[in-house]
Structure 1
Amino acid sequence: MQKQIRVWDPLVRLFHWSLVLSFTVAYLSGDENSDIHIYAGYIIAGLITFRLIWGFIGSQHARFSDFLYSPQTIIDYLKSMLSRQPKHYLGHNPAGGAMILALMLGLVVTTYSGLEIYAIEEGAGPLAQQTTGVGFIRSAYADDDEHDKYAEHDGNEEEEEFWEDIHEASANFVLFLVLLHIAGVFIAGKLHNENLVKAMITGNKESE
């Protein structure tokens, strides 16, 4: 007989759906350079910071120690999925744990590169002081001729373009991971005959 077991605490569920909404808003508003995109990015940064902390002090299944496995365990689990006989995990399975780690790393790169762009373009944000300091050092060693002014301008443009390329690539990579995650949730749900989306809403999963 199956019984309902509380697996996901309220903060994990709030984090999950807040991140879904924030990333969707940030991605769709990415080409507009709007305040909405910036605010969504700040929210994502805050959510990731919270999750990193909660991964050490949170409830049992929220902790990294509960769902981060060795590469061999992850490979074995994926093989068992192909044979349609994967081991059932009450919390995140090995593949799901690896996906969470990859998503968080991807989002860290995306948000950091976004902050770099914001600092260069607007002179604002937590990295603005760093960018201003670099600019001050450049100007202190530059001669007062047009060539040096153009050189500094070109240097800023190259730096901005560098971070923009990283920001776009990492955001698209995260989107790719999200699509893989959705597919994995669907497949694992079918193999284990459980509704994983509902579990992330209610916090409960069924266990024999």
Structure 2
Amino acid sequence: MSRHFVWDPLLRIFHWSLVALFATNALFDNPESKLHRWIGYTIGGLIVLRLLWGFAGPHSARFASFLPTRAGLIRQITDMATGRRRVHLMHTPLGALMIFNLLLTLCGIIATGVMMTTDAFWGVGWVEEMHEVLVSWAEVSVALHVGAVLWESRRTGVNLPKAMVTGVKCVPDDAKIEA
């Protein structure tokens, strides 16, 4: 196994804090409570921090380092279909699409959540409906993300959840590495 340091501490803290806060708001908290709003504001702050880190952080955190291309997406899908084991040191092209999806969805959830607290949008049906639709989409996306992480971990032999905890990807010696 070769070891590759990939995820910096800020990125890992962001990820797991977001997991805990989103799960708390989605599964355990009353949407009408003050705690729900404060968790939403905290998630908003985390998103702002991640956006800044995506432009100023280390290479592996920068959005430019994992922009998916059509060729990369086709190559990853082909690898999955044919059983070819190619390990991406950072995000896979499909994983990058999921990250952008989740960040944009969370921005929409936060925007509609804040809108619902203003006089201009208090009680406006479409804002509340859009908030609920975006939360549902985020939940579906999270389920797909977790499933894909487990699938890719098994398929490639790389323990991706462990890598997101430790920051280090341990890659089997016989795997082809895609930087």
Give your verdict on TM over 0.5: yes
Give the deviation of 1:25 after TM superposition.
1.4
- From the CA coordinates, give the structure whose radius of gyration is larger: 1
Give the deviation of 1:31 after TM superposition.
4.6
Say whether 1:74 aligns with 2:73.
yes
Partner SS for 1:119: coil
Aligned residue for 1:63?
A: 62
User: What are the residue-to-residue correspondences of 1:104-119 with 2, within 5 Å?
Assistant: 104-119=103-118
Aligned residue for 1:50?
A: 49
Unpaired runs of 5+ residues, structure 1, are: 121-130, 132-154
Measured against aligned partners, the alpha-carbon deviations of 1:148-188 in whole angstroms (never above 9, x if no partner) come to: xxxxxxx964xx21100000000000110000000110111
Q: Please, what is the CA RMSD of the aligned residues?
A: 1.7
Aligned residue for 1:12?
A: 11
Say whether 1:3 aligns with 2:2.
yes
Give the deviation of 1:71 after TM superposition.
3.2
Measured against aligned partners, the alpha-carbon deviations of 1:49-106 in whole angstroms (never above 9, x if no partner) come to: 1111111111111111111112342233123212221421111111111100000010
Structure 1's 6 and 169: CA in aligned 2 closer, same or farther, altered over 3 A? same
Aligned residue for 2:177?
A: none
Aligned residue for 2:149?
A: 185
**What is the alpha-carbon distance in structure 1 between the residues aligned to residue 144 and residue 59 of structure 2?**
25
Structure 1's 95 and 87: CA in aligned 2 closer, same or farther, altered over 3 A? same
Identity %: 35
Q: Is the 8 A contact 2:159 2:170 kept in 1?
A: no
Partner SS for 2:116: helix
Q: Counterpart of 1:164 in structure 2: which amino acid?
A: E
Aligned residue for 2:127?
A: 163
| More off after superposition, 21-30 vs 103-112 | 21-30
Q: How many residues align?
A: 172
Structure 1's 33 and 168: CA in aligned 2 closer, same or farther, altered over 3 A? same
**What is the alpha-carbon distance in structure 1 between the residues aligned to residue 159 and residue 20 of structure 2?**
20
Measured against aligned partners, the alpha-carbon deviations of 1:109-158 in whole angstroms (never above 9, x if no partner) come to: 011000000123xxxxxxxxxx3xxxxxxxxxxxxxxxxxxxxxxx964x
**What is the alpha-carbon distance in structure 1 between the residues aligned to residue 75 and residue 89 of structure 2?**
18
**What is the alpha-carbon distance in structure 1 between the residues aligned to residue 31 and residue 22 of structure 2?**
15
- Tell me the TM-score normalised to structure 1 length: 0.77
Aligned residue for 1:142?
A: none
Aligned residue for 1:200?
A: 164
The answer to which structure has the higher helix fraction is 1
